[in-house]
Amino acid sequence: MSHSAVAEQSTVLTEVSRGIDSPAFQAVLEEVRQRREEFDALGHVPVDMIERFKDVGIYRAATPKCFGGDALAPAEFLRMIELIAQADGSAGWVASFGSASTYLAALPFETQAKLYANGPDLVFAGGLFPIQPAEAVEGGWKVSGNWKFASGCKGADVLGVGIGGGQGGKPRTALFPAAQVEIVENWDVVGLKGTGSHDLRINGEVVSDEWTFIRGGKPNIDEPLYRYPTIAYAAQVLAVVNLGLARAALDELKDMASGRTGATGAPKLADRAYFRVETAKIEADLRSARGFFYESTTQVWDSILAANPVTNEQVSLLRLSAAQMARVAANVVQRAYTLAGIVAIYSRHPLQRYLRDSMVVTQHAFLGEGIYDGAGSVMLGVDPFPGFL
C-alpha cells in the first residue's frame, strides 16, 4: 500500500472514531448527561469537559484541513451539537462555538499558521458587543473596554473582542491570547446557566493588524467550508441547540406518558386522547422545522461543492430556517411542559431545565424577530438590513 493510501486510510479511521456513532462520542454524551447539574452550579463548562470535546473533534471541526483540521460539512457538525444539546443545553451551546474558527479564516494566512502551530484543536470565544472604539497606533490598535456575552470564555485559548473599523455592518474583531483578557464573572441568569457567558475586559492592550479581522469577512482559506456563509452558520449552530432541547423534552414527555396516573386519579397520560393528539402534532411541527433546517443546509453545501457561488436567496433561507427552527423548538418545549401537568412545576424536573434554556436561545440577536424582516426583504427584492447577508 502506498504512503498516500495509508494516510488516507488513517484519516478515514480517525473520522470514524470521532463520528456521532462512535463509542467515544457516545461516552461524551453520557458524561454530559451525568454532569449537567455540575455545569449549572459552576456557571460554566469546565476545562476538563472542553478537553473531552476536543477528543471527539468539536474544536477541529472548523479548522482548515491545510492546518490539520477536519473542516466538517456543516450538517455533520450541526448534528453533533444537536445531540450534545439533547444531553444538556449549556454544553451544546458551548460546544457550538467549535464552529467559530470559520470566522478566523478571515485572518491573514500567515497569522492562521501561527494560530494553529500547536495543533488544530483551538478553542475560540468572544464578546464582540458593544463595539468599542480602539486607538490606532503604529502597526495596530490599542484596545480598551468591556464586552458582553462571551460564551465559553473560561475554557478558551484565544478571545476576540469587537473594535471599530468594520464594514457593511460586520465588526472588526481583535484577537488576544486568553491570558491577556480579564473575565468579569457576572453570568447570573435563568437559563443556559452553564455557558459561562461572562463579560470581557481589556485595559490598554495593543494588538497588531495581523491579529484583527472582519467578522464574516472574506476568507483567506480556499476550502469549501469557508465558502459557506459565515454569519448564517453562526446562527445555525445556536438554533440547533433548541432542536436538541425540544427532542429531550419530547423524550421526557413520552417517558412520563405511560408511567403514572394523575394526582386526582385520572387515567395515565397515554390513555388520554387530547394528550395523544397534541403529542403527535408537536412531533410533526418539530420534524417539519428540522427538515427545513437541514434541507437548506444540505442544498447550500451541495451547491458549494459543485463550485457554484452562494446566492443571497440561499443565505436568506439559511437564516430563515434557523430562526424558524429556534422558535418552533421553543414552542415544542412549552407545549410539552403544558402537557406534563402539575409535576413539571418542580424546579428539578427536567422540563423546567428545557423550558428555561430554550427561551434563552430565542433571545439571541441572530435568531430574533428581525430575521424574518431580512428574509422577507430578500424574497421581495428589497435590500435587507446591514449584516443580514
The pLDDT, as a whole number, for residue 299 is: 98
The pLDDT, as a whole number, for residue 132 is: 93
Q: Return the percentage of the chain with pLDDT > 70, whole number.
A: 93
The pLDDT, as a whole number, for residue 2 is: 38
Helix (H, G, I), strand (E, B) or coil at 364: coil
Give the mean model confidence (pLDDT) for residues 55-66.
98
How far apart, in Å, are the Cα atoms of 335 and each of 83, 257, 315, 323?
Answer: 21, 14, 30, 19
Q: Where are the alpha helices (DSSP H) in the chain?
A: 3-18, 23-42, 47-55, 74-87, 89-96, 101-104, 109-115, 230-257, 273-305, 312-340, 350-362, 370-379
Assign 258 a pLDDT band (cuts: 50, 70, 90).
Answer: confident
Assign 166 a pLDDT band (cuts: 50, 70, 90).
Answer: low
**Residue predicted with more confidence, 251 or 6:** 251
Q: Count Cβ atoms below 10 Å from residue 195 Cβ, excluding itself.
A: 31
Contact indicator for 195, 189 with CB cutoff of 8 Å: no
The pLDDT, as a whole number, for residue 3 is: 35
Q: In whole angstroms, give the CA distance from residue 361 to residue 82.
A: 13
Tell me the CATH number for domain 3-104: 1.10.540.10
Site of grid cell 460554566: 44
The pLDDT, as a whole number, for residue 17 is: 57
264 has pLDDT over 70: no
The pLDDT, as a whole number, for residue 207 is: 96
Q: What's the whole-number average pLDDT of the chain?
A: 93
The pLDDT, as a whole number, for residue 173 is: 95
Pick the CATH number of 228-379 from 1.20.1260.10, 1.10.530.10, 1.10.3720.10, 1.20.140.10: 1.20.140.10
The pLDDT, as a whole number, for residue 266 is: 74
- pLDDT digit string, tens, across residues 334-364: 999 999 999 999 999 999 999 999 999 999 9
The pLDDT, as a whole number, for residue 283 is: 98
Q: Return the percentage of the chain with pLDDT > 90, whole number.
A: 88
Assign 377 a pLDDT band (cuts: 50, 70, 90).
Answer: very high
The pLDDT, as a whole number, for residue 263 is: 60
Contact indicator for 219, 207 with CB cutoff of 8 Å: no
Least-confidence region, from 72-86, 202-216, 248-262, 370-384: 248-262
Give the mean model confidence (pLDDT) for residues 235-245.
98
The pLDDT, as a whole number, for residue 168 is: 64
Indicate the DSSP class of residue 389: -
Domain positions in the chain: 3-104, 122-214, 228-379
Q: In whole angstroms, give the CA distance from residue 230 to residue 99.
A: 9
Give the mean model confidence (pLDDT) for residues 183-198.
97
Q: Please give the full DSSP string across 69-82, using - where no structure is assigned.
A: -----HHHHHHHHH
Asked: is 122-214 a CATH 3.90.79.10 domain? The reply is no
Same fold, 3-104 and 122-214: no
Assign 169 a pLDDT band (cuts: 50, 70, 90).
Answer: low
- pLDDT digit string, tens, across residues 7-53: 343 343 344 457 899 999 999 999 999 999 999 999 999 999 999 99
The pLDDT, as a whole number, for residue 220 is: 97
Least-confidence region, from 54-68, 133-147, 295-309: 133-147
CA neighbor of 104 nearest in space, from 263, 247, 2, 220: 220
**Is 139 exposed, middle or buried, given 0-12, 13-18 or 19+ CB atoms closer than 10 A?**
exposed
The pLDDT, as a whole number, for residue 19 is: 87
198 has pLDDT over 90: yes
- pLDDT digit string, tens, across residues 284-324: 999 999 999 999 999 999 999 999 999 999 999 999 999 99
Q: In whole angstroms, give the CA distance from residue 214 to residue 33.
A: 37
Assign 216 a pLDDT band (cuts: 50, 70, 90).
Answer: confident
260 has pLDDT over 80: no
Contact indicator for 99, 125 with CB cutoff of 8 Å: no
